[in-house]
């Protein structure tokens, strides 16, 4: 049995952010995540460190939080944030009135703007729609959510925090009506562990209601699904937004070697039962290509979808986009708190407020320092771009993303993982055009060489990863991606005979 002060459920940005804050304030804690870090909305998001421009007109409070946190994360998370800056582009037909509102709202919420003529915008991003009217520059950035969570978790572990990934909370233990611990199931072995704590924090995002119910409580949430597509190369070095009220497919974000476009907004009931329809893919491609016409013909290598954990809309307009991106801490008055809503961009602020509340509960007065202290572990990470990391060509395990053998070895050694996805999230292995076709079996071989996966476990490990990989590729299977997928299928089903195993 593990005994601690605070149990955190959920290893997304919010949960890992709370773990870091608690660690810096000297509070013992244990974080439980049912999959790997960033397995929920955090890893399924656009990776946009909002300037707040997107919310300035309709949600000024969220916009103010975004710009303030944007400035903090630029300072504390230099190896997670790429200082791309962003453009809101106005295309023919986009209303001038909205542009004026936008500029005025940005001014009021403290978001710096600069108006660029069409020719200046095209100089910066040559493959923008040539008929754009103008663009407004804002301090948007691209952010790597996986790195962010891992660095937050590292700050916690360095100070004695216990971080258990692949541990699903299946029960909340109550005594005399108070939550005193949880039972969690290790997802590979099925082993059940008991963790006892003085307080529980439910930071499980879209699963917040499910987790709250385990303690007999409720969290009023609207689940809003958003889907995105990944193009096989970087089409812009700046974040591109459409200068109009928030709508489908109006953001393109450069992320290392690829470009992400999205998103949609569809209310769902179950965060575990998601699919991406062909209509969503067409809609995103069509809308993104209005801003960057190449999006219409580019090779899409993957699609993914996530669920925004939004606070229930009291106005009930039926439009998920109208729901505030603000966050809320709910005291269930039974030893458990839930923290819901917010954005990836505001995760640190959410963690600060949650930790303040915990400190109050414990009667301890230690101030928050997460806004000043850089995230730990950044020195060991490479910077951008990744390509300057290679010393010897025959050292490469993943050709698409130029991942070195030594990087993969380090992760296997440190995480001791039985999941190929854990290597992927920490190195970008398998994130390029072949989507792991050629590097998956190499990574598995290395896991076996290092004694982390036995012969009898290896087929299960391989199938788990390939199944997950295929779920993301399936919705964008045509053209070159289809041709490559047939080759990969030949390798795994033909040469390696995986279907019979």
Q: How far is the CB of 91 from ligand FAD (least distance, A)?
A: 21
The span from the CA of 355 to the CA of 173, in Å, is 22
Which CB sits closer to ligand FAD, 102 or 207? 207
Which residues are at the interface with ligand FAD (CB under 6 A)? 9-15, 32-35, 39-42, 44-48, 50, 168-169, 203-207, 211, 226, 228, 263, 306-309, 342-345
Which CB sits closer to ligand FAD, 204 or 290? 204
Residues 6+ apart with CB under 8 A from 70: 49, 50, 51, 52, 139, 140, 141, 345
Q: How far is the CB of 100 from ligand FAD (least distance, A)?
A: 25
Closest to 201 measured CA to CA, from 19, 341, 360: 19
Q: How far is the CB of 10 from ligand FAD (least distance, A)?
A: 3
Which CB sits closer to ligand FAD, 464 or 489? 464
The span from the CA of 131 to the CA of 93, in Å, is 11
Which CB sits closer to ligand FAD, 116 or 304? 304
Which CB sits closer to ligand FAD, 20 or 34? 34
Q: How far is the CB of 308 from ligand FAD (least distance, A)?
A: 4
Q: How far is the CB of 37 from ligand FAD (least distance, A)?
A: 7
Which CB sits closer to ligand FAD, 342 or 432? 342
- Cα–Cα distances in Å, from 360 out to 198, 366, 405? 13, 10, 47
Closest to 69 measured CA to CA, from 51, 82, 57: 51
Q: Which residues of 112-122 are buried (b: 16+ CB within 10 A; e: fewer)?
A: ebeebebeebb
Task: Please give the structure tokens belonging to residue 133.
Answer: 């009217």
Closest to 216 measured CA to CA, from 255, 173, 262: 173
Which CB sits closer to ligand FAD, 42 or 441? 42
Radius of gyration of the chain (CA): 22
Task: Please give the structure tokens belonging to residue 16.
Answer: 């890992």
Q: How far is the CB of 34 from ligand FAD (least distance, A)?
A: 4
Q: How far is the CB of 341 from ligand FAD (least distance, A)?
A: 7
């Amino acid at each position: 049995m593990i005994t601690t002060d605070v149990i955190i459920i959920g290893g997304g940005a919010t949960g890992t952010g709370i773990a870091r804050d608690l660690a810096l304030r000297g509070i013992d804690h244990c974080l439980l995540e049912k999959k790997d870090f960033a397995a929920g909305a955090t890893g399924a998001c656009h990776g946009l460190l909002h300037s707040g421009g997107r919310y300035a007109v309709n949600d000024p409070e969220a916009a103010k939080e975004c710009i303030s946190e944007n400035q903090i994360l630029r300072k504390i998370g230099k190896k997670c944030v790429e200082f791309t800056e962003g453009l809101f582009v106005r295309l023919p037909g986009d209303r001038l009135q909205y542009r004026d509102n936008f500029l005025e709202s940005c001014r009021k919420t403290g978001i710096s703007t600069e108006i660029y003529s069409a020719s200046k915008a095209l100089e910066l991003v040559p493959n923008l729609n040539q008929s754009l009217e103008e663009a407004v520059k804002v301090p948007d950035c691209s952010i790597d959510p996986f790195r962010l969570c891992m660095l937050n978790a590292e700050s916690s572990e360095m100070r004695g925090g216990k971080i258990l990934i692949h541990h699903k909370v299946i029960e909340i233990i109550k005594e005399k009506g108070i939550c005193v611990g949880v039972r969690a199931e290790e997802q590979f072995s099925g082993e059940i562990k008991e963790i006892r704590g003085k307080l529980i924090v439910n930071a499980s995002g879209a699963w917040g209601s499910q987790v709250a119910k385990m303690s007999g409580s409720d969290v009023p949430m609207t689940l809003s699904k958003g889907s995105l597509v990944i193009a096989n190369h970087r089409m812009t070095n700046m974040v591109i937004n459409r200068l109009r009220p928030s709508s489908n497919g109006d953001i393109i974000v450069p992320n290392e070697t690829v470009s992400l476009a999205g998103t949609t907004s569809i209310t769902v009931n179950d965060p575990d039962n998601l699919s991406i329809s062909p209509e969503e893919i067409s809609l995103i491609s069509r809308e993104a290509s209005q801003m960057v016409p190449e999006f219409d013909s580019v090779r899409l290598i993957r699609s993914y979808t996530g669920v925004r954990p939004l606070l229930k809309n009291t106005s009930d307009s039926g439009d998920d986009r109208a729901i505030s991106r603000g966050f809320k801490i709910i005291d269930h008055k039974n030893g458990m708190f839930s923290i819901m809503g917010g954005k990836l961009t505001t995760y640190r602020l959410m963690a600060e407020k949650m930790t303040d509340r915990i400190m109050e509960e414990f009667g301890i007065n230690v101030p928050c320092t997460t806004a000043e202290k850089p995230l730990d572990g950044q020195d060991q990470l490479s910077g951008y771009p990744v390509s300057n990391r290679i010393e010897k060509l025959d050292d490469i395990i993943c050709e698409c993303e130029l991942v070195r053998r030594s990087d993969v070895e380090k992760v296997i050694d440190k995480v001791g993982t039985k999941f190929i996805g854990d290597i992927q999230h920490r190195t970008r292995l398998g994130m390029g055009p072949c989507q792991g076709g050629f590097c998956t079996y190499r990574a598995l071989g290395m896991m076996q060489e290092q004694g982390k996966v036995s012969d009898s476990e290896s087929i299960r490990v391989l199938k788990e990863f390939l199944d997950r990989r295929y779920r993301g590729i399936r919705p964008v299977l045509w053209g070159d991606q289809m041709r490559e997928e047939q080759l990969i299928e030949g390798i795994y089903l033909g040469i390696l005979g995986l279907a019979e195993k």
